């Protein structure tokens, strides 16, 4: 009986639930699509790593310090005779010497442009060897057979518009031009890297600078011994100075790098899907609340013929269950389409995945149905509980259930307490001395203020809407006055509708405040601390000595400052050792940069002292004059005194320990140092800085991996990088905004149905169709503006507090994005107008007599 009643009611009101269904579908699609994409990508890379890893990879021993491969440092090698020694071990079928480096740059010599990925993936150049598990195969041309031949991977060749017979330049410091004789295609997938192969002798001379060495030996067993046994035998036979990784260890190592990116992408998207689910929850609450109000008489009849409160409650929840089940099913299907779209997006970025081989595991269905059904049923619980309290006699007399004064008082108390608690936590966060403490406070403050505003929304609606709609009667006459009154008539509905929009816009404003603050703070720090006129960088391969020389020889340049990073273990007088590193800078560094000195003297770097950060000094009880032992590895150790302690709060220097390069060279010979991470140029006195920049750009044309910017250009670069993050956040929040707009449409559409008789009477006493449609449009605009105002207040509070929490981390200059706020408010008006189009059109087409006769 209960199921039959619920099913009939669900089918009878399916049109009114359509927008709620869409909200569930969109949210579930985002969740399931993200999981399918993540599963597919992970599975594809697992197959790649499993099918290409050798049984054992023997490499040079991990360095004592640093550990991670640095493209700026020289490649570590093992002697060629290691291949024969490993091949002679029992159980080894073949041992192959391999060379692979990340320190080379590929370029098109004809266009003098860099060739390779721009997404952060590596460029790998090595020797071509035939192995049983080669990740690529020659699909055009042939393998390199001489010193002037190279093979290029198909994806890179296609993007760079290079073909067989074309020229490819390999830059390792010196420039080496090759003819492309082969195109290689990945057998499984391309993780986004660019690959180039030359013959072994050329690779040794060009990439390693010496013959008779390799970067690794790849071992393939005959099956008689396990990989672990091969590893043990190889390490025992080779002695010290080597490390070995089995196929499983290689797979784990490779998957870790790709997996960190995929996990970040997955959890970021799931986080924004959670926001859209929260927004969708308000839409569902509104839908069922209005349906319950419209079916008051129907519910009263059910109670009158013997239906219990529990049955009425369950009837509404069963309808929600049906809505959630249908929405989840459709959402999972839509999620597959979203997953295909994400795969195509990754393919466009150079990471090739097969959309025809989607991995749809049980977790996708479990998560999809759990999210869709649980959220829908929870959202419908409040209206269901309200419906169960309808008395049979009151239901038969009334067409709606007015809000109880007592419930309003309780709501007001709870909302004020939550909002006050949230405001207090935000205030504590803003005043916290430590970022970690402030971060905890701001997290709780955001939660409490958000919930507090949601609870207070219906109570704020009457006052705020009256203010926002104050000019409507004057500007639009009867239509404006009716729109204002309609928005105020049911504050609970207006508050819930506006809350959905409020959440999305609060996040937009908060993110805008944060990114604007980052840009302004960075600009302030550059203006205050940077005296150099030009910044020269060359990506992960670093600024080679040849590039530095080209800059130094450019007309108009007074001097060049280099900054190198050397991994090291620092031992302080308190006995604590930390693996950190030294930023080694040339002598004019303190002329080109104004260090934020707390104690000591910046010029002490020139006398062999260290510059350390305030936090580091505080953690280890350091003061000027204290000595720090620095271990660079391989027995290279020196002790240097602290000459200056730098104030924290400047992102250009925070977390760094500086020493003069001349001082570091006393412990680490120049030949064993990495190339510079970045270089800075200073224009000579009286020269035209802009013309010198043009001259520098001309001097560096021969080095396509290098880029040069003046201070203004560097600020633009920072702004571009921050804006990229902001636009990504906007894109992900777009789903939540769409769901919120659906909520406004849904509220207006159901409101039109609920007020059918009222609309008929208004038409009967002279309200024209045009005035009626205007009334609904204005009501929609007022509701949208109400949500935008609340969202702006919350977003500003969160953004300003975030700046205060991070003020010691470099975000010293608060920036309020006034333009963004004004555009957001203007966009809310547009949202309101668009959301009202369909409800207003339907209302205008109503038959007057039929509307008046509606019960």
pLDDT digits (tens, 9 = 90+) for 87-136: 999 999 999 999 999 888 899 998 888 888 876 678 899 999 988 888 88
pLDDT, residue 669, reads: 93
Q: Give the chain's largest Cα–Cα span.
A: 102
pLDDT class of 68 with cuts at 50, 70, 90: low
DSSP characters over 293-341? HHTHHHHHHHHHTT--HHHHHHHHHHHHHHHHHHHHHHHHHHHHHHHHH
d(CA 265, CA 34): 9
In which band, very low, low, confident or very high, does the pLDDT at 172 lie, cut at 50, 70 and 90? confident
Q: Where are the beta strands (DSSP E) in 676-835?
A: 678-683, 707-710
Q: What's residue 152's pLDDT?
A: 95
How does pLDDT run across 234-285, given as a tens digit for each residue? Answer: 999 888 889 999 998 888 887 776 767 677 777 777 777 777 777 777 777 7
Please report the pLDDT score of residue 401 as a whole number: 46
CA 304: distance to chain centroid? 56
pLDDT confidence of 230, banded at 50, 70, 90?
very high
Nearest to 588 by CA among 608, 566, 562, 607: 562
Nearest C-alpha neighbor of 140 from the set 185, 91, 205:
185
The helix or strand, by DSSP H or E, that contains position 633, with its residue range, turns out to be: strand 627-633
CB 108 within 8 A of CB 160: yes
Name the pTM for this structure: 0.77
CB 275, CB 503: distance < 8 Å: yes
- Write the burial class of residue 467 (CB in 10 Å: 0-12 exposed, 13-18 middle, 19+ buried): exposed
C-alpha–C-alpha distance, residues 798 and 502, integer Å: 13
Please state at what angle helix 309-348 crosses helix 296-304, rounded to 10 degrees.
140
- The token pair at 663 is 């001082």
Rounded-to-integer distance, Cα 268 and Cα 712, Å: 32
User: What local confidence, expressed as pLDDT, does residue 789 receive?
Assistant: 93
Q: Are strands 557-571 and 577-585 parallel, antiparallel or unpaired?
A: antiparallel
Answer whether residue 795 shows pLDDT above 80.
yes
Q: Check residue 73 and give its pLDDT.
A: 67
Q: Are 266 and 42 in contact (CB under 8 A)?
A: no
Average pLDDT over residues 64-75: 65
Residue pair 169/138 in contact (Cβ under 8 Å)? The answer is: no
Q: Look at residue 11 in the predicted model and tell me its pLDDT.
A: 64
Task: Kindly list the distances between the CA atom of residue 367 and the CA atoms of 28, 379, 733, in Å, as whole numbers in the listed order.
Answer: 8, 18, 21
> Residue 71 has what DSSP assignment?
T
Asked whether residue 422 carries a pLDDT value surpassing 90, the answer given is yes
Token pair for 108? 């098109």
Of the candidates 584, 546, 553, the one whose C-alpha atom is nearest the C-alpha of residue 669 is 584
Distance (Å, whole) CA 403 – CA 488: 13
Contact predicate 202/125, CB 8 Å: no
pLDDT digits (tens, 9 = 90+) for 327-380: 899 989 988 988 888 888 777 766 667 777 788 888 889 888 988 888 888 877
What is the share, in percent, of the chain residues with pLDDT greater than 70? 90
Residue 404 has pLDDT above 60, yes or no: no
Most confident of 274-278, 300-304, 422-426, 830-834: 422-426
Residue 56 contacts residue 247 (beta carbons within 8 Å): yes
The pLDDT tens digits for 719-772 are 887 887 788 777 777 777 777 777 777 777 777 776 778 888 888 888 888 888
């Amino acid at each position: 009986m209960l199921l039959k009643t619920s099913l009939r009611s669900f089918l009878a009101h399916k049109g009114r639930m359509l927008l709620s269904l869409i909200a569930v579908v969109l949210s579930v699609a985002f969740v399931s699509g993200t999981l399918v994409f993540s599963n597919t990508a992970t599975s594809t890379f697992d197959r790649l790593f499993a099918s290409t890893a050798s049984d054992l990879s023997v490499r040079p021993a991990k360095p004592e310090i640093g550990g991670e491969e640095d493209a700026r440092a020289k490649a570590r090698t093992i002697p060629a005779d290691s291949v024969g020694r490993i091949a002679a071990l029992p159980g080894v079928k073949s041992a192959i010497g391999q060379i692979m480096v990340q320190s080379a740059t590929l370029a098109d010599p004809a266009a003098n442009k860099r060739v390779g990925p721009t997404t952060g993936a590596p460029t790998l150049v090595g020797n071509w060897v035939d192995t049983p598990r080669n990740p690529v195969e020659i699909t055009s041309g042939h393998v390199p057979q001489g010193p002037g031949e190279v093979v290029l991977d198909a994806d890179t060749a296609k993007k760079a518009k290079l073909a067989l017979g074309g020229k490819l330049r390999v830059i390792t410091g010196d420039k080496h031009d090759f003819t492309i004789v082969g195109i290689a295609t990945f057998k499984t997938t391309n993780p986004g890297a660019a690959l180039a192969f030359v013959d072994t002798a050329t690779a040794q001379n060009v990439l390693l600078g010496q013959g008779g060495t390799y970067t690794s030996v790849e071992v393939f067993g005959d099956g008689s011994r396990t990989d672990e046994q091969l590893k043990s035998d190889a390490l025992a036979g080779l002695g010290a100075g080597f490390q070995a990784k089995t196929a499983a260890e290689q797979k784990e190592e490779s998957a870790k790098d790709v997996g960190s990116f995929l996990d970040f992408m997955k959890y970021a998207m799931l986080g924004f899907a959670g926001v859209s689910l929260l927004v969708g929850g308000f839409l569902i609450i509104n839908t069922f609340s209005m349906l319950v109000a419209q079916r008051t008489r129907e519910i009263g009849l059910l109670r009158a013929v013997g239906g219990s409160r529990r049955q009425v409650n369950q009837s509404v929840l069963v309808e929600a269950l049906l809505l959630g089940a249908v929405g989840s099913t459709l959402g999972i299907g839509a999620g597959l389409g979203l997953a295909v779209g994400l795969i195509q997006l990754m393919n466009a970025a150079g990471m090739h995945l097969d959309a025809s081989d989607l991995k749809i595991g049980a977790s996708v269905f479990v998560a999809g149905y759990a999210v869709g059904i649980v959220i829908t049923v929870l959202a419908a619980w409040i209206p269901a509980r309200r419906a169960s309290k309808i008395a049979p006699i009151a239901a038969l007399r009334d067409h709606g259930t007015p809000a109880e004064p007592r419930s309003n008082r309780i709501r007001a108390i709870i909302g004020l307490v939550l909002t006050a608690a949230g405001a207090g936590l935000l205030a504590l966060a803003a005043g916290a001395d430590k970022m970690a403490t402030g971060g905890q406070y701001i997290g709780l403050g955001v939660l409490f203020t958000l919930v507090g505003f949601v609870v207070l929304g219906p109570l704020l609606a009457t006052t705020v809407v009256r203010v926002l709609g104050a000019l409507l009667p004057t500007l639009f006459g009867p239509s404006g006055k009716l729109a204002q009154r309609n928005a105020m008539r049911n504050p609970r509905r207006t508050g819930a509708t506006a809350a959905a929009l409020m959440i999305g816009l609060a996040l937009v404003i908060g993110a805008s405040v944060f990114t604007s603050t980052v840009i302004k703070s960075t600009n302030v720090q550059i203006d205050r601390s940077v005296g150099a006129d030009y910044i020269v960088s060359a990506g992960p391969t670093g600024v080679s000595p040849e590039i530095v020389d080209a800059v130094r020889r450019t007309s108009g340049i007074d001097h060049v400052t280099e900054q190198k990073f050397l991994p090291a273990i620092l031992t302080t007088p308190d006995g604590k050792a930390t693996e950190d590193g030294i930023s080694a800078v040339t002598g004019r560094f303190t002329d080109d940069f104004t260090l934020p000195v707390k104690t000591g003297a910046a010029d002490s770097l020139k006398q062999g002292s260290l510059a350390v950060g305030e936090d580091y000094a505080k953690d280890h009880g350091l003061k000027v004059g204290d000595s720090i032992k620095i271990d660079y590895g391989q027995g290279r150790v020196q002790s240097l005194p602290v000459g200056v302690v730098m104030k924290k709060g400047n992102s250009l220097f925070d977390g760094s320990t500086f020493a003069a390069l001349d001082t570091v060279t006393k412990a680490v010979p120049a030949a064993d140092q990495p190339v510079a991470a970045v270089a800075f140029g200073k224009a000579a006195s009286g020269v035209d800085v802009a013309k010198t920049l043009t001259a520098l750009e001309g001097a560096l044309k021969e080095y396509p991996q290098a880029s040069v910017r003046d201070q203004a250009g560097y600020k633009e670069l920072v702004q571009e990088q921050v804006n990229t993050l902001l636009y990504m956040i906007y894109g992900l929040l777009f789903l939540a905004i769409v769901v919120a707009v659906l909520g406004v449409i849904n509220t207006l559409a159901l409101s039109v149905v609920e007020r059918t008789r009222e609309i008929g009477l208004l038409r009967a006493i002279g309200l024209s169709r045009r005035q009626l449609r205007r009334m609904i449009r204005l009501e929609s605009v007022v509701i949208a503006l109400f949500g935008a105002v609340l969202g702006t207040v919350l977003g500003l509070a969160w953004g300003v507090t975030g700046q205060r929490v991070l003020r010691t981390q470099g975000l010293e200059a608060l920036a309020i994005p006034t333009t963004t706020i004004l555009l957001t408010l203007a966009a809310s008006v547009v949202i309101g107008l668009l959301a009202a189009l369909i409800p207003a059109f339907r209302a205008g087409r109503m038959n007057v007599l039929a509307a008046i006769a509606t019960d």
